[in-house]
Structure 1
Amino acid sequence: MHTLLTWLGTKDLDNMLNDTNAAISTIAAKSEQPFDKIVILSNKDEDKWSHFERFLKKRMAIANRPDQDIQVHKAHIDSPIDYQSIAKVTDKWISKLSDEADTLSINLTSGTPAMTTLSVLIGKGKSNTHFLQATPSNELILVKIPLDFAQAYVQSASKSIAFKATSEPNFHRAFNNLTNHSSAMKITVSKAQKISASEVPALILGETGTGKELMANAIHLGSLRSSKPIRIINCGALAENIVDSTLFGHKKGAFTGAEKDHPGLFEQADGGTLFLDEVGELPLSVQVKLLRALQQGEITRLGDTKSIFVDVRIIAATHQDLSLLVSQGKFREDLFYRLAVGIIEMPALRNRIEDIPSIVTQLVDQINQSSSKHPSYKSKQISDKGINFICTQSWPGNIRELWSTLNRAFLWSDTTLINDEDIFKSLIKRQKKNISDDLSMTINDIVDIVQITDDIQKKYVKAALKASGYVKKKATIMLGLKDHQTLTNWMKRLNIETDS
């Protein structure tokens, strides 16, 4: 993602009234790489902000450039020359946007000298930041700052590595780049391609960390809506009192702090796709409005009485059992059937072993790429033994857990070749829960308790052998047995055969 950060200058507003370009519109229209997002900061002339947003969006549309994510934000500064308050605002926005974007460009033409100076000082500490300015004749200039901020650069690179390690792995978002060597994933991708070509709502099911958001992006990119925006919201990450406003927008004065009209994600995604992650977390009151949007294609902003018609495709995802939530009265049955038209079940990583080597390669490339920004970093790889060990593990957290484990292994190891022992030391140790003793039986029930016990023991012994790479000594420790001879005796009794 390419983002532009700029202050709103007096010249920008004056030229807007004459419908002519100034620095912001010039840079946005002439940048070699189009901006996916434009963030404008201002502390005055708030009554002109919405007019300027419309003006700039119009200019971007004429230039055939992205115009969906352009917004003026209020900058809480004491004055246009107060370095302390300007530095606080500038640092907040540059840090946020440089973490989110692949490239952040900063306009040095608009704003006061204090704003420009602090943009340079803070922006030079970020490894992915560039500077632009416009001449009086509206020519674009790429600015090279001839200063060495090496220490700030190293600190930023270290922070970037940490940020990437704790964020989601960023796979290529298209069907032909989804790893699908396994039969389970091939079936899943085939279904998703068919759903993508239609206009039906989609519901993506699967355990945490299986790549539901990746699949949603692939469905969007494979659809006729691919040229339109996709908006993403994690329904479980927002407080109940702001979910409504986030999805459907609000009118000025709808609640304390609503200083102007705000379009929600439905309006922002008009013509495109809205991905509702963890849809099972939506409050019932919001579910009613979501159902109306699906059935009638219209929404109502919070605090408004007028309906707005939108053309949005819904893709929802959850790791929960929605049918169970329906039976518990926590999820509307009519909404469930509206969403559950194109159903995709993402297979767990343990059920797609053939995909693991390719997935590991992709994750390793991402770790090396993000870490390479640090001057002292040396590129690392996974040995064949390491990959084989990864394939034997169950990965209850799926790709997300694998991603975190690889990051830890790369961090702890001083060698350039990560082996099975490095991966083993980087695994999170879990305490297995005891089987629940909350059982009940009726007088006529008959069970074979010996067979049940043998079946459970057999499953655990097989799982321990697989996870340990069929090393009996390790499997013995995992099962809490006295010694490996005891394990051998169990294997004979349970009729478990192994080549090792």
Structure 2
Amino acid sequence: MNILLTWLGNKDLDNMELDQSAAIVTLATKSSQPFNKIVILSNQQEQKWHRFELFVQKRMATIGRPAEDIKIYNADIVSPIDYSSIATVTEKWISKLSEEADSLCINLTSGTPAMTTLSVLIGKGKANTQFVQTTPKNEMIYVDIPIDFGQEYVKSASKNIANTATSEPKIEQAFSKLTAKSVQMQNVVNKAKKIAASEVPALILGETGTGKELMATAIHKGSLRANKPLKVINCGAFAENLVDSTLFGHKKGAFTGAEKDHPGLFEQADGGTLFLDEVGELPPEIQVKLLRALQQGEINRLGDTQTTNVDVRVIAATHKDLSKLVEEGKFREDLFYRLAVGIIQMPALRERIEDITVIVNQLVEQINKAASKHPDYISKNISEKGIKFILSQPWQGNIRELWSTLNRAFLWSDSQTITENDLSSAMINRAKNESFTDVTLSYDDKLDITQLVDKYKKAYILAALKASGNVKSHAAQMLNLKDHQTLSNWMKRLNIKHEK
């Protein structure tokens, strides 16, 4: 049995009044295989239903096709664009008719986009369905939709998880929502608020992964320029000529490939803020142009002699020691002092212990939210011992390292609860730089070498115990000791107490 399922469109009814064919009649009369049954769904203009049934039957009869089983059924939907009720009706009829039919054709021309979309999504799940539609010239087309929606959905959900895991953690981007339970971070935020209220340039210092861009965004949002653009550039990510063009723009013909005038980030950020991340990477020639922009509010596009005035507040950031770069002649001293007006030193994660649990909870929520769209994903949490393990780590890569570690632990674990063992397995072992400075002694110098060695032993034992969560066996392995009993003997001699 060959069955046609279709919604009743306004065009079908309008053309009936003109005694002309539209989608339904075209499909009924031109299909390569005649339909034994035509099911039409509608929820409006019921007074015209009987006339339309007769209209289709007459057209079928004139060409000798079956016309006995053509009927319009009431579709109990809220509106022609209500996806929920349309889905219910569509599922009901497609399931019913696909069981009856050898071949079920679904019309994609008549009805609203919501009706068409749901017909495709639900119909693709049935093995004996095919889709048909008509052209404006009443030609019939069989439609091939070569997509496995289930597989594409899982692929899309998986890609979303991957994109979120490799992106920066979006903690919160306003001062009122910055994680600042620790005294260190509260002091930083208070300084940043004062800087935001002024128009001075700002320089944000701190290790990689401490949230310098997040702080720059907060300063912009807390300033009088908040409703103007915020433009961001990583100064170390471009070749010198591209940095010049990206920051200051270029004229047509300035270099090969410059086919039209291009405004740089300074012009795009006019009235707003420009964030220069890794400003220490700027080459000397660009430093000169940046200094002029800061001092005089003027720029020149690459290849242009005309000066352009800009009103831009600059916030710069770096993980490098700019003072040292100035001493080495790699960064202009006058530019350093021009930038270093409002200085913010971002604390390392290990220096703000009180904030870590809050940050972990925020990151866990983000990971679970991103992964929740995957059909097989189970929401996870971290055990109490897992939190203690996190608090014991140095996090040299700061929030960025914590973010990637949590993503790995959540990915590898099949349990609802992430343990300290899961987190330990997800950690990346980093090679330590154990540089040794040459020791020099004067003829009359005296020292207690045993005390000196014990001092280093004690420091490393305490560090190993902290990193291992006070697990002696693991700490002994870290220190390359024979066993935990050897470690215990050392601890006893050095008067180190073991916290369980």
Tell me, which stretches of 5 or more residues in structure 2 are unaligned?
Answer: 1-112, 122-148
Note the C-alpha offset of 1:254.
Answer: 0.5
Tell me, which stretches of 5 or more residues in structure 1 are unaligned?
Answer: 1-140
Does 2:426 align with 1:429? no
TM-score by length of 2: 0.69
Question: 2 CA distance for matches of 1:164 and 1:144?
Answer: 32
Q: 1:395 is paired with a residue of what secondary structure?
A: coil
Alignment match, 1:490: 490
From the superposition, tell whether residues 142 and 316 of structure 1 become closer, same or farther in structure 2 (CA, over 3 Å): farther
Alignment match, 1:416: 416
Note the C-alpha offset of 1:443.
Answer: 4.2
Does 2:288 align with 1:288? yes
In percent, how many aligned pairs have the same letter?
A: 68
Question: 2 CA distance for matches of 1:215 and 1:445?
Answer: 52
Alignment match, 1:353: 353
Question: 2 CA distance for matches of 1:190 and 1:391?
Answer: 25
TM-score by length of 1: 0.69
From the superposition, tell whether residues 361 and 143 of structure 1 become closer, same or farther in structure 2 (CA, over 3 Å): farther
Q: Deviations over 1:255-302 (max 9, x none)?
A: 011111111111111111100011000111100000001111111100
Question: 1 CA distance for matches of 2:445 and 2:312?
Answer: 55
Question: 1 CA distance for matches of 2:230 and 2:190?
Answer: 22
Q: Deviations over 1:369-414 (max 9, x none)?
A: 1112222212111121211111111111110000000100111011
Note the C-alpha offset of 1:454.
Answer: 2.7
Amino acid at match of 1:230: L
Amino acid at match of 1:390: I
Alignment match, 1:383: 383
8 Å CA contact 2:171, 2:359 repeated in 1: no
Question: 2 CA distance for matches of 1:224 and 1:388?
Answer: 41
Question: 1 CA distance for matches of 2:216 and 2:487?
Answer: 45
Does 2:154 align with 1:159? no
Listed as ranges, the matches of 1:37-436 within 5 Å are 145-146=117-118, 147-148=120-121, 149-434=149-434, 436=435
Question: 1 CA distance for matches of 2:279 and 2:468?
Answer: 37
Q: 1:190 is paired with a residue of what secondary structure?
A: helix
Q: 1:236 is paired with a residue of what secondary structure?
A: helix
Amino acid at match of 2:329: G
Note the C-alpha offset of 1:485.
Answer: 2.4
Question: 1 CA distance for matches of 2:439 and 2:498?
Answer: 37
From the superposition, tell whether residues 329 and 452 of structure 1 become closer, same or farther in structure 2 (CA, over 3 Å): farther
Amino acid at match of 1:177: K
Alignment match, 1:462: 462
> Greater CA radius of gyration, 1 or 2?
2
Q: Deviations over 1:39-79 (max 9, x none)?
A: xxxxxxxxxxxxxxxxxxxxxxxxxxxxxxxxxxxxxxxxx
- How many residues are treated as equivalent by the alignment? 359
Amino acid at match of 2:427: L
Question: 1 CA distance for matches of 2:297 and 2:412?
Answer: 52
Q: 1:344 is paired with a residue of what secondary structure?
A: strand
Question: 2 CA distance for matches of 1:344 and 1:199?
Answer: 15
Question: 2 CA distance for matches of 1:311 and 1:409?
Answer: 46
Question: 1 CA distance for matches of 2:499 and 2:405?
Answer: 29
Higher deviation after alignment, 141-150 or 160-169: 141-150
Question: 2 CA distance for matches of 1:475 and 1:272?
Answer: 52
Question: 1 CA distance for matches of 2:376 and 2:252?
Answer: 51
Question: 2 CA distance for matches of 1:317 and 1:445?
Answer: 47
Question: 2 CA distance for matches of 1:223 and 1:394?
Answer: 34
8 Å CA contact 2:275, 2:316 repeated in 1: yes
From the superposition, tell whether residues 310 and 441 of structure 1 become closer, same or farther in structure 2 (CA, over 3 Å): same
Alignment match, 1:80: none
Question: 2 CA distance for matches of 1:174 and 1:440?
Answer: 50
From the superposition, tell whether residues 481 and 378 of structure 1 become closer, same or farther in structure 2 (CA, over 3 Å): same
Note the C-alpha offset of 1:430.
Answer: 2.2
Alignment match, 1:441: 440
Note the C-alpha offset of 1:417.
Answer: 1.3
From the superposition, tell whether residues 373 and 330 of structure 1 become closer, same or farther in structure 2 (CA, over 3 Å): same
From the superposition, tell whether residues 365 and 308 of structure 1 become closer, same or farther in structure 2 (CA, over 3 Å): same
Query: Over the residues paired in the alignment, what is the CA RMSD in angstroms?
Result: 1.8
From the superposition, tell whether residues 463 and 440 of structure 1 become closer, same or farther in structure 2 (CA, over 3 Å): closer
Question: 1 CA distance for matches of 2:265 and 2:444?
Answer: 54
